[in-house]
Amino acid sequence: MDQRLSEQASLKMTKPLRVIGETEVGWCEATPPNETTDEDGRPLIRTVGFTAADPRAPRRRVYDDPDVAALREHLRADNGLRGLEVVGPDEIERAKRIFFRDGFVVVRDLLDPAMLETMRDASARVLGQILEIPGVDGRKYVTETGRLPHRYSYGTASASRQLLHEPEWAAMVDLPATTPLLSALFGGDDYWVIGAGGDLCLPGAIEYQTLHYDTRETFELPPERLEQAKRMGVELRTAPDSHSLTDRTRHLIFERTPPKVTINFLTSDMTFENGPIRQIPGTQTLAANPPTQADEPEWMRLSTVVGAPAGAGVFRDPRAWHGATPNVSREIRAMPNVEYTAPWLEASAFEPSMPHELWASLSPHAQRICARIKTDPGVWPAGAGVMHPLASRRSEAKGAPSAIAGGVSLRGL
């Protein structure tokens, strides 16, 4: 490691990392725009897919570069969904109506002040594990496999692909402000936790992420989904002289029974410049693919949740088109999340990621909805606790589930 990288590593270890307020983290000029890495960390630039290059990105990753300054002023003037509705956690019917209309809804006050501070500390701690790994050839950081620079996923950067071994993430699965809303969106308390993680971007993430969806609609209607639809108030109408559902009924079922619901919790206010998530309203049941970076219209790039406050959460239907946006501020934007599934998702889709001992400390409702992702007693989830940007290193670390060693304790228990 050269002297410059040694000084950077020393700074990271001695100066507390925070995900709120201005930071010296980010803005690595040595990291080229649009550069991602393969599973072993070799740099490359992709032109298609999830990590496609942003053809409109600034040419240098420098805070006061003229291209960056022009982008910042453009965002200052125009960024954000016009008329973004932010509802309270007690406005359940209104939140439900917006969610099914737009494919997402912003709900304030999901995290009380103590929980918000806890998640800020936890988010910073886990990010610190990722950033401890030194970059190469003058780069401050290792770009995560398959992601654009200065962007990381708490989930995919974990060798277990989840963070449910972390007590702070496990504590969010059943909150007083979220559980009633989830019950309304799923038509009852018969739903499951499938994972938890989230994403973040450092200052200097100058590229737009390609619009994408996390879950693809299958347009299949198993009996369990029809039962959920009836609980959601959908009348199962059939066509005249036929036992087949009408087209309108089928579409209503697809709209009202999303396979998954993700809650992204906001650890800071979403501003015009700190990388607010963009959501394209009404796209959750479209069969079409999102536009490419080159074809995406400017209004979609500006369709962001600017104005959503810290402590709020974005309830998302992951079928809806969404994507990350540039962070041209000096603040880290972190969004830890929890992912839930409909009652009809097949059991084979679940993998053990929460230690039994942590599961046993949760509320009865949390235990029930996490029953499919807990390990057996005394077994640690495969890969849990290892964070690394590179896919090959995560694969090496995952191995097989192992017994919890006598000297290992679960933090916070």
Question: For the residues 181-187, what does the mean pLDDT come to?
Answer: 98
pLDDT at 405: 35
Is residue 65 packed enough to be buried (19+ CB in 10 Å), middle (13-18) or exposed (0-12)?
middle
Question: For the residues 337-364, what does the mean pLDDT come to?
Answer: 95
pLDDT at 408: 33
Confidence of residue 243 (pLDDT cuts 50, 70, 90): confident
CA-wise closest residue to 50 among 208, 217, 156: 208
Confidence of residue 206 (pLDDT cuts 50, 70, 90): very high
Is residue 354 packed enough to be buried (19+ CB in 10 Å), middle (13-18) or exposed (0-12)?
buried
Q: Is the pLDDT of residue 249 over 90?
A: yes
Q: Is the pLDDT of residue 4 over 50?
A: no
Determine what percent of the chain is predicted with pLDDT higher than 70: 93
Report whether 143 contacts 10 (CB < 8 A). Answer: no
pLDDT at 292: 95
pLDDT at 14: 52
Q: What average pLDDT does the chain have?
A: 92
Cα atoms in the 13 Å half-sphere on the side-chain side of 157: 25
CB environment 115-130: b (16+ within 10 A), e (fewer): bbebbbbbbbebbeeb
pLDDT at 241: 79
Report whether 127 contacts 152 (CB < 8 A). Answer: yes
Q: Is the pLDDT of residue 371 over 80?
A: yes
Is residue 10 packed enough to be buried (19+ CB in 10 Å), middle (13-18) or exposed (0-12)?
exposed
The per-residue pLDDT for range 262-313, each reduced to its tens digit, is 999 999 999 999 999 999 999 999 999 999 999 999 999 999 999 999 999 9
The verdict on pTM exceeding 0.95 is no
Determine what percent of the chain is predicted with pLDDT higher than 90: 88
State the sign of the Cα–Cα–Cα–Cα dihedral 348, 192, 184, 339.
negative
State the sign of the Cα–Cα–Cα–Cα dihedral 300, 301, 305, 307.
negative
pLDDT at 9: 45
The per-residue pLDDT for range 46-73, each reduced to its tens digit, is 988 888 999 999 999 999 999 999 999 9
- Residue with the larger pLDDT of the pair 211 and 8: 211
d(CA 64, CA 336): 29
Beta bridge partners of 340: 193, 261
Q: Is the pLDDT of residue 412 over 70?
A: no
The per-residue pLDDT for range 218-241, each reduced to its tens digit, is 999 999 999 999 999 999 999 887
DSSP per position, 284-349: TT--SPPPPTTT--HHHHT-B-TTPPTT-EEEE-TTS-EE---B-SSB-EEEEEEEEE-TTS-GGG
Question: For the residues 402-413, what does the mean pLDDT come to?
Answer: 34
Q: Is the pLDDT of residue 25 over 50?
A: yes
Report whether 101 contacts 108 (CB < 8 A). Answer: no
pLDDT at 13: 45
The per-residue pLDDT for range 123-145, each reduced to its tens digit, is 999 999 999 999 999 999 999 99
Going by the DSSP 8-state scheme, the letter that residue 374 receives in this structure is: B
